[in-house]
Chains A and B, each alone.
Chain A
């Protein structure tokens, strides 16, 4: 059953806002439900809307460690779950060579030697030689943790299938050691930039929230909160300009983090208005693509 002590959505929103993150009610409610139902939360949305930030703040809210698994194409169990420390095994084997010699000295033949070693060799595949990667680290952790599986859409489908066991049962199976259950259930947040469709099985195991670009008023609040030194009128113009850029046919729409960066850049330049020259000098903080940059500047000059 879920935790009856799940924090109130308002408390989550207020704590996030203290950290400078304007928390929409759906984010707070989803986090609260994730806590109450012990379910991972899948955050999907365009890059730069603050999905990863939510996970970081969630860890901060619970004073928990944040364990982050950054997904990429080709990510496999060895990188995500565990690896045997082969170096350590070799070192121990060298150090214990004499001990092993003693152990098999009395054996009459090969079969006897094997029988003598049986059971002993398993020591080399014990937890002492295990290198836990993020998933296993989260499961083995004695402390409260928030496990962030970032950009799951970048990983392969095989890895996604492998994750199912972790997401639903909070356990992993290691052939040499058996099934390892989580000591305390980690809070899990998955993020996806929606670059590919995730499997239904994975979605079913998670709560889901689509995090879209904020509305104008909300974005203005974010800019005002994060860059208080920017004059309000200019902040409004920044937000309106960004909204028009997102509507235009740019290859990559700027995220919230980039808007904040741009606002900071404008504040650092002591800009008082969004004229073409100011745009030319500062737009690199907002737009990270040459074609988009040229297009936006061209549009800005045209509509001057």
Chain B
């Protein structure tokens, strides 16, 4: 009983409900008072002693439901996982149309307790910026109301299942722009070629935008306080306007890119687009992962200098990277957070961590605490999700487990989204 209580309290803490040791003792004492064979009594006793705010009580309820009522016949692993899911401050919605959804998706009993109605825990300073369509999780109450009263948009055609945010846009009969092609969809050869042609253009565009910004940054801003001193020779008449330059920072960049088959197209394009910029900025490290993170900085840098063959071939040859294994974000983050792992060493206070992935861990434990450790070590965390925002947190997606530790999350299901993410990265440099 005490062990279960300890685990439950740990899960509560991970879900953002602060529980002090004194409260844990109170909870144990409360369990001695009530009938532990009566689930509701246990729930009420634990809630009264452990959840001390309304929001905390809401989270408690969801977590309790997850923790003490695993689906009938669930394995120990599934039970543990469902608890851990609640612990991360996020649950999932089941999307019956989701091809990635697990075997239980879409059934009433499979609905996981969801914490998504609760305010997402802001573990990092500032607000989480969402560069995406109107994902229902992050809508405000008024936006939700407006959305519910708005006329329902026409259903998107199959294969053009666009992000939720674009559902409101009028459907056009024109062929889709290559920048809007959903990267996860099956593409024709023509579309693949369009994508290929579009990538260099996008790179040029981003480079142009960022160079303008850098030029402005290099020139500096007028330094009013120095005007008098600079113009002493002219009696204070401001012939010269001194400029104050910003201190140039050269942050480390750590790219952690999921290269599993479901996101491989987006990953490859992202790497092609991002590497040029991060190599410019220097001090970039690239880690690829499916179920464990392997460093690929050298190989990718060599390929960039002299593109010899396809990028996918380079990825395939990375040692310690098993492209055939099932995605396991929890394991990858756990391993990367280990003190002796190269990624952990690269994740320093001045580092920007960019993760590209759909956060679909095949129902394995998301191990959000490991990601938290990595994120806490870095200055800024940007997550690019190659999935439409409407699919975030459905099925086996653990995105909401990781979002509390991110500064920016970007819907990057097409080239436009990817470039938006890269612009965000460039802006952070």
Contacts and interface: CB of A to CB of B under 8 A. Distances in A.
Contacts of A26: 44, 47-48
A26 B46 CA distance: 11
A42 B26 CA distance: 15
Interface in A25-79: 25-26, 29-30, 32-33, 36-37, 39, 41-42, 44
A288 to B, nearest CB: 24
B121 to A, nearest CB: 16
Contacts of A2: 29, 33
Given A33-B33, A37-B29, A203 B40 contact: no
A-B pairs with the 4 shortest C-beta distances? A203-B52, A29-B44, A36-B33, A207-B48
Interface stretch (B15-23, B183-191, B412-420): B15-23
Main secondary structure of the interface of B (DSSP, over half): helix
Nearest to B40: A25
B54 interface: yes
Given A37-B29, A194-B54, A204 B23 contact: yes
Given A204-B20, A207-B49, A33 B34 contact: yes
B54 A33 contact: no
Contact of A42 (B18, B22, B40, B52): B52
Contacts of B45: 29, 33
Nearest to A45: B54
A210 B40 CA distance: 16
10 contacts: A32-B33, A33-B33, A33-B34, A33-B45, A36-B30, A37-B26, A37-B30, A203-B53, A207-B48, A208-B51
A188 interface: no
B424 interface: no
Interface residues of A, number: 25
B65 to A, nearest CB: 15
A208 B33 contact: no
B423 interface: no
Interface of A: 1-2, 6, 9, 25-26, 29-30, 32-33, 36-37, 39, 41-42, 44, 194, 200, 203-204, 206-210
Given A2-B29, A208-B48, A44 B40 contact: no
B116 interface: no
B51 to A, nearest CB: 6
B57 interface: yes
Contacts of A194: 54
B282 to A, nearest CB: 44
B350 interface: no
A208 B52 contact: yes
A151 B57 CA distance: 20
Chain B contact residues (Cβ within 8 angstroms of A): what range? 20 to 34
A33 B33 CA distance: 7
Contacts of A206: 52
A4 to B, nearest CB: 9
Contact of A200 (B18, B29, B41, B44): B18
A6 to B, nearest CB: 6
A39 B33 contact: no
Contact of B48 (A200, A204, A209): A209
A37 B33 contact: yes
Contacts of A33: 30, 33-34, 45, 48-49
A183 B22 CA distance: 24
Given A33-B33, A42-B52, A210 B57 contact: yes
A33 B52 CA distance: 15
A1 B26 CA distance: 10
Contacts of A25: 40, 44
Nearest to A37: B29
A178 B20 CA distance: 30
Contacts of A204: 20, 22-23, 52
A2 B29 CA distance: 8
B5 to A, nearest CB: 15
Contacts of B22: 204
Contacts of B18: 200
A26 to B, nearest CB: 5
Nearest to A194: B54
B30 A208 contact: no
A29 B34 contact: yes
Interface string B36-66: 0000110011011101111001000000000
Contacts of B53: 203, 208
Nearest to B54: A210
Contacts of B57: 208, 210
A196 to B, nearest CB: 12
A166 to B, nearest CB: 16
Nearest to A200: B18
Nearest to B18: A200
A206 B41 CA distance: 18
